[in-house]
Amino acid sequence: MSRIYLDHNATTPLAPEVFESMRPWLTEEFGNASSAHGFGQRARAAVEAAREEVAGLLRAAPGEITFTSGGTEADNLALFGAARLRRERGRHLVASAVEHHAVLHALEALQREGFETTLVPVTPQGLVEAGRFLEALRPDTTVAALMLANNEIGTLQPVAELGRELRRRGVVFHTDAVNAVGKVPVDTQALGVDTLALSAHKFYGPKGVGAFYLRKGVQVQPVQYGGEQERALRPGTLNVPGIVGLGAAARLARRELSEVGARLAALRDRLQRGLVERVPGVHVMGAGAPRTPNTLDCCFEGVHGETLILTLDMQGIAVSSGAACAAGSTDPSHVLAAMGVPAELAQSAVRMSLGRGTTEAEVDRVLEALPAAVQRLRRLAPGAAGPAR
């Protein structure tokens, strides 16, 4: 029986056309993009073509795109780079309580440098209220961060609603768009953000490469030093094959976004309806809120999430408990905790994230296997009385 992969928010398979675009740059085209000779010039041209593709996906200018090793580096460059450059103006930072750890841990590090952070709470649906976010600003606030799409539950945050006001107040506004790019339209002009992070492997590109958007006229301080690559903002020899792959993935996303998004939303809704109908005591996280079309996060009363994940894995179905970077942690999800989900229920969370290769037959197979696994695990649970209906 074929395996089913429903963990596309953790990583996506490399699209065949992306791999083919990378192939020459992994073999015969090995030049350093900073070299002046023909090998280097061809590599530089490929890098700049990829920069144009990424800019086109984001409705940005090519000069606003800097290549990085991924979303984490881009988040760090945005936060450390903006906050440190403005430390004489103010040392207060604002972010949501459900940010990715790449943002939250960067903010914690900045606190050790003397900065102060306010984390804005979310509603039980996992949404930040724009008014509450603005209330957290102070005269000494210099940087604010709000992710575009949550990686665990898929909720889409009101970034565009906040962009214009934050710009008016002179606050640098960053969005972690790692789990939004390639799933929903991302228009930097409409969002009104100053900086943005994305990662290629979240939308069928290679691992180890991403991009940092920096709006023209906004300045950040480098966090790495050593060369003049990427306008000295991100020095180091350019990962030409990865960058070419990112460009190809951006081109693919532009072509497929609308059609694939609609199809995945229908499949996600089919899966959600089926689980609600077949599994007593299931709780859909973020239900009713705007979400990325591929993401479904559920808690199952009376079941431990990791045990359910391993049970499904033995049946050839790959799902997850939430953020891949937190795998192995025994603590409940900080996202679900911020939503007010009790710790015991949060421990039962399972995230199912669909991708461009997901089929109706696969969804139907999950709808047979998952309810049966939940029922079996509940029977085995000591003192189990069954979930509330």
- 150-197: pLDDT as tens digits: 999 999 999 999 999 999 999 999 999 999 999 999 999 999 999 999
Question: 13-44 burial, b if ≥16 CB within 10 A, otherwise e?
Answer: ebbeebbebbeebeeeeebebeeeeeeeebbb
Q: Is residue 389 part of a domain?
A: no
Indicate if 128 and 238 belong to the same structural domain.
yes
- 201 and 280 share one domain: no
What is the average per-residue pLDDT within 91-102?
98
Measured CA to CA, the distance from residue 151 to residue 333 in angstroms comes to: 11
Task: Render pLDDT for 157-166 as a digit per residue (tens, 0 to 9).
Answer: 999 999 999 9
Residue 358 has pLDDT above 50, yes or no: yes
Report yes or no on 228 lying in a domain. yes
- Tell me which of 220, 252, 284 is where a domain ends: 252
Residues 269 and 239 in one domain: no
Number of H helices, E strands in the chain: 12, 12
Residues 91, 209, single domain; the answer is yes
Percent of the chain with pLDDT over 70: 96
Q: Would you state the pLDDT for residue 389?
A: 42
Amino acid letter, 263: R
Find the domain containing 280 and state its range: 4-11+257-380
CATH value at residue 181? 3.40.640.10
Per the structure, how many domains does the chain have? 2
Residue 375 belongs to some domain of the structure: yes
Mean pLDDT calculated for residue range 75-101: 98
Residue range 4-18: average pLDDT? 98
Tokens of 330: 């025994």
Whether residue 185 is found in the same domain as residue 140: yes
- Residue 268: the pLDDT is 98
What are the angstrom distances between the C-alpha of 342 and each of 227, 302, 327, 338? 49, 13, 20, 10
Tell whether the model's pLDDT for residue 29 goes beyond 50: yes
**DSSP alpha helix (H) spans, the chain:** 16-26, 38-58, 71-85, 101-111, 130-135, 159-168, 188-191, 240-278, 305-314, 334-338, 343-346, 360-380
pLDDT, residue 322, reads: 67
pLDDT at residue 271 above 50?
A: yes
Residue 375's pLDDT is what?
Answer: 97
Look at residue 381 in the predicted model and tell me its pLDDT.
78
pLDDT above 90 as % of the chain: 93
Report the pLDDT value the prediction gives residue 324, as an integer from 0 to 100: 52
With beta carbons less than 8 A apart as the criterion, state whether 30 and 39 touch: yes
- Please check whether residues 244 and 343 belong to one and the same domain: no
Task: Flag whether 386 is in a domain.
Answer: no
Residues in Cβ contact with 132 at an 8 Å cutoff, skipping those fewer than 6 apart: 120, 121
- Other CB atoms closer than 10 Å to residue 360's CB: what's the count? 12
* Cα–Cα dist 171/174, whole Å: 10
Give Cα 55 distance to the centre of its chain: 18
Q: What is the pLDDT of residue 296?
A: 98
Contacts of 265 (CB under 8 A, 6+ apart): 293, 294
Mind telling me the catalytic residues? Answer: 325
Q: Give the pLDDT mean for 192-211.
A: 98
pLDDT at residue number 186: 98
- pLDDT level of residue 332 (50, 70, 90 thresholds): confident
Residue 386 — pLDDT band, cuts 50, 70, 90?
A: low
258 vs 262: CA distance, rounded Å: 6
pLDDT at 1 over 90: no
Judge whether 109 lies within some domain.
Answer: yes
Judged against a pLDDT cut of 80, whether residue 330 lies above it is answered with no
The reported pLDDT for the residue numbered 387 is 56
Share the mean pLDDT of the chain.
Answer: 95
Residue 219 shares a structural domain with residue 95: yes
Does 58 or 323 have the greater pLDDT score?
Answer: 58
